[in-house]
Structure 1
Amino acid sequence: MDEVATMFRQARGERADEDWARSAAARLMLDGVREPLVRDGLVALVPVIEESQEPATTLFGSPVEWAQERHAAWRSDGVHTTRPSGPASVGEFVHGVSIGAAIAAPILALLQMMADGWVIDFTLALVAFPLLISLGILGFPAAWNWCLRRRTRGATIAIAVVSLIGYSSVVAGILYLAHDVVLWNGSGFWMFAVATGYAILASLTRRAWPASDPKAPDEYVEDDSEWKRSLAAYLRERDDIQEFRIQAIIDDAETHSAESGKSLQEEFGAPASYATRFAPRLEVSTRRRAWAWTMLLLPPIVVFLLYGLEDGWHWQNRFLPLVLWFLAAVFMAATTWRQAIQHSRDHT
């Protein structure tokens, strides 16, 4: 978005207009609006500023309010605004996993040194663990989004639980087998060299799989069955509509289509555009996020209990990240539950 912000600054030669554009773009991007749509919406304002020579704030109001109004207008016009969930390609996923491993490696090294001292054994498990963590952190949401577009939320949750247990078991098995394979012994800061290796791997994967633009939503779906599947996928991807409402929306569309004698595409247009016509249900999306943060309270508790049963109930340095994780999850859960309750009151 740098080129768009530059266009705003050049329109009047004022930095304030550039800041306005960046704030508006940030608000839209945080709301999940596709970058090409954000760019087009902002570029359309540049000629107005050039002609009037008035500040962007005077012409369009605050950037946040303009962004909210523009987003609402796009939705009412049936414009598909949201970015596709998850990585756009296998290459992007592999690149992200490599970057995540490069970030996780020095963090794990510091935690290991806090527990065992400055000199540590670099086992195969320790070197591979950053990659396994990154694969789980990025792979789980990607698999969730892929499954959610094709299954109901209840089925997706069940598949996610089974997958999480399975992946955790595989990781535990790998770490158990690789724990005694010592590659070298030395300062924990050698882990930064491991991080550099993962960063090089990320660079190589980017060269092998250049970044590509996300696939545009389908504009024409002739088959009614495929249209319904596509609509259900877009509605589930919004994450603010319950499954029973999705089914009701599809049933209503089928009824109107049968009465008019037209196909669903002819009657309602592209499924991606039709999915945007339904007002956001913030009380649903925030409640789901609140449950997610609440569930994240469990892992540090379970790990703490396992450590306590194994080594006794005394303070260990390895407990520090668990405490930080728990406190962060408590804060986020409390915040999102408060938002969910407020949105529920506003809706009623």
Structure 2
Amino acid sequence: MTERPTGPELGRVAEAFHAARGVETDADWAELALVRLVFGDVRIDVVEQVLTEAAGTVREAQESPAELFGAPSEWADQQAEQLREAGLDVFEDPLIMGWREGVLTTLGLASGLSALFFLSQLLDLLVGSESGPTDVTAGFALMPLLLSAMLVVVIAVYKRAVARFRFPIVVALCAAVVVLGAGGVASIIVPLAREGADARLAWGWSILLVPLYAALCWVVAKLWRAPAQGPGDREGRGDAKGREDVEALTPQQILDSAHLDDEDWVRRARAALRRRDDFTDPRIDAVLTEAQAHAAESGAPLVEEFGSPEGYAQKLPKDPRTIPRRMTLFYAVLALLWLALALADAAGAGWHVGWSVAAPAVLAVAFGAMAVGRARAWHRVGRSS
């Protein structure tokens, strides 16, 4: 049981399937389907609703879900595809975060960055540089938190800009956030490091920052609980506000789609296609131009010809090359920016490698590794196609 996924939604779904026929294996089928849907980015409350309806079908037919629906993975994929084609906003994007998720992510990243900075200090000791590892100051202690907050802001800017602007503009906006954010972080931590000269600790104490930020993350998660939600409860979600900021689709908007004029239809379809991340702007322009030409030829409005713009956007086939190509460019730009900032800090410090230089250097290496990983995926997709 400790290896099985847990949660109130899973418990309710398993109970519904077990009560339908009194067969334990039915609950196992439901568990596999639930996991597949969740990993397909379907919201957990929607997953529970879909599976509860399936349990009702099992109860009425008194047949196993495998006989009625087939393999749980295939059934789950079919359900996710139907939801996408309907254009419903029932899919999670883990990078679209509300205030609670943003704070927890910041503290979690701060714990991870603290571990990286400790390793860089340890490496500095092993290499045997002249100055040795840097002592722990207030500026050093706050650096992982501030850098993590800046990374979360970069993610927020990216996710909110990608549906509104062309991709080069999105990259430029994120790069501007990195440059301005790095300057802001430096303006905070450098004076604190100087003022805290009398309150220094030995470099080894920096390892305590890892459990400290992790504990803060745990405490905030316990004290700042997400509102309870039930099946279909859209308003009770903790990140509802964050989703509204990126023009999330609501059921009422789906109903209102029947009254969309062509201009609004194109605007919403363009935003939905950009949020997919696997459509380039020229391809989006070509697809929408083709749709408008087809509607003009038939003499029908776009909404009548193609349905809701979000549903139309979900139906279009994917281009597997676009996402790895874009992410290669995105991570490469961020890696180069952090490398430039590290070199600038090193030059300002007389080419002495201290913690102020190690921080952007570590991030440059991390983003560089992600860029290489995406480039390999891009190459594999190119070879297979």
Q: Distance between the aligned counterparts of 1:211 and 1:181, measured in 2?
A: 39
1:137 corresponds to which residue? 151
Q: Distance between the aligned counterparts of 1:124 and 1:31, measured in 2?
A: 42
Tell me, yes or no, if structure 1 residue 232 matches structure 2 residue 273. Answer: no
Q: Distance between the aligned counterparts of 1:204 and 1:198, measured in 2?
A: 10
Q: Which range moves more in the overlay, 259-268 or 300-309? A: 300-309
1:296 is displaced (CA, Å) by 6.9
Q: Distance between the aligned counterparts of 1:262 and 1:229, measured in 2?
A: 18
Aligned with 1:211: secondary structure?
coil
Contact 2:324–2:375 (8 Å) recurs in 1? no
Give matches, 1:275-294, under 5 Å: 275-292=313-330
1:320 is displaced (CA, Å) by 11
Give matches, 1:71-86, under 5 Å: 71-79=80-88, 82-83=91-92, 86=95
1:167 is displaced (CA, Å) by 1.9
Aligned with 2:201: secondary structure?
strand
2:215 corresponds to which residue? 196
1:155 corresponds to which residue? 169
Structure 1 letter corresponding to 2:144: P
Contact 1:120–1:185 (8 Å) recurs in 2? no
Determine which of 312, 318, 321 is the counterpart of 1:274: 312
Q: Distance between the aligned counterparts of 2:34 and 2:123, measured in 1?
A: 44
Tell me, yes or no, if structure 1 residue 250 matches structure 2 residue 258. Answer: no
1:278 is displaced (CA, Å) by 1.2
Q: Which runs of 5+ in 1 are unaligned?
A: none
Aligned length: 338
Deviations 1:236-261 (A, max 9, x none): 00111121121123223434455566
Q: Which range moves more in the overlay, 33-42 or 158-167? A: 33-42
Deviations 1:166-202 (A, max 9, x none): 2223223333222223255364454334553465455
Q: Structure 2 vs 1, CA of residues 323 and 48 (structure 1 numbering), >3 Å: closer, same or farther?
A: same
Contact 2:338–2:361 (8 Å) recurs in 1? no
Q: Distance between the aligned counterparts of 1:288 and 1:121, measured in 2?
A: 40
Q: Distance between the aligned counterparts of 1:205 and 1:154, measured in 2?
A: 37
1:33 is displaced (CA, Å) by 2.9
Structure 1 letter corresponding to 2:98: S
Q: Distance between the aligned counterparts of 1:148 and 1:320, measured in 2?
A: 27
1:108 is displaced (CA, Å) by 5.2
Structure 1 letter corresponding to 2:277: D
1:144 is displaced (CA, Å) by 0.5
Q: Which runs of 5+ in 2 are unaligned?
A: 1-8, 126-132, 228-235
2:231 corresponds to which residue? none
Deviations 1:312-336 (A, max 9, x none): 8xxxx99997898489648733652
Aligned with 2:183: secondary structure?
helix
Structure 1 letter corresponding to 2:309: P
Q: Distance between the aligned counterparts of 2:64 and 2:333, measured in 1?
A: 47
Q: Which range moves more in the overlay, 297-306 or 229-238? A: 297-306
Q: Distance between the aligned counterparts of 2:168 and 2:334, measured in 1?
A: 19
Structure 1 letter corresponding to 2:374: A
Task: State the identity as a percent.
Answer: 26
1:52 is displaced (CA, Å) by 5.1
1:165 corresponds to which residue? 179
Calculate the TM-score normalised by the size of structure 1. 0.75
Give matches, 1:16-165, under 5 Å: 16-51=25-60, 54-79=63-88, 82-83=91-92, 86-87=95-96, 89-101=98-110, 103-104=111-112, 107=115, 110-111=118-119, 114=122, 121-165=135-179
Q: What value does the CA root-mean-square deviation take over the aligned residues?
A: 4.2
1:210 is displaced (CA, Å) by 8.0
Aligned with 2:92: secondary structure?
coil
Q: Structure 2 vs 1, CA of residues 327 and 29 (structure 1 numbering), >3 Å: closer, same or farther?
A: same
Give matches, 1:180-219, under 5 Å: 180-182=194-196, 183=199, 185=201, 187-188=205-206, 190-191=208-209, 192-193=211-212, 195-197=214-216, 199-201=218-220, 206=225, 211=238, 213=240, 217=249, 218-219=253-254
Structure 2 letter corresponding to 1:228: V
Deviations 1:141-175 (A, max 9, x none): 21101111111112212222222222223223333
Tell me, yes or no, if structure 1 residue 337 matches structure 2 residue 378. Answer: yes
1:272 is displaced (CA, Å) by 1.9
1:4 corresponds to which residue? 13
1:126 is displaced (CA, Å) by 2.0
Q: Distance between the aligned counterparts of 1:330 and 1:268, measured in 2?
A: 37
Contact 1:80–1:273 (8 Å) recurs in 2? no
Q: Distance between the aligned counterparts of 2:23 and 2:379, measured in 1?
A: 40
Contact 1:85–1:145 (8 Å) recurs in 2? no
Q: Structure 2 vs 1, CA of residues 4 and 148 (structure 1 numbering), >3 Å: closer, same or farther?
A: same
Q: Structure 2 vs 1, CA of residues 293 and 52 (structure 1 numbering), >3 Å: closer, same or farther?
A: farther
1:232 is displaced (CA, Å) by 1.0
Q: Distance between the aligned counterparts of 1:6 and 1:302, measured in 2?
A: 56
Aligned with 1:280: secondary structure?
coil
Q: Which range moves more in the overlay, 246-255 or 295-304? A: 295-304
Contact 2:137–2:193 (8 Å) recurs in 1? yes
Calculate the TM-score normalised by the size of structure 2. 0.69
Contact 1:150–1:233 (8 Å) recurs in 2? yes
Structure 2 letter corresponding to 1:4: V
Q: Structure 2 vs 1, CA of residues 207 and 45 (structure 1 numbering), >3 Å: closer, same or farther?
A: closer
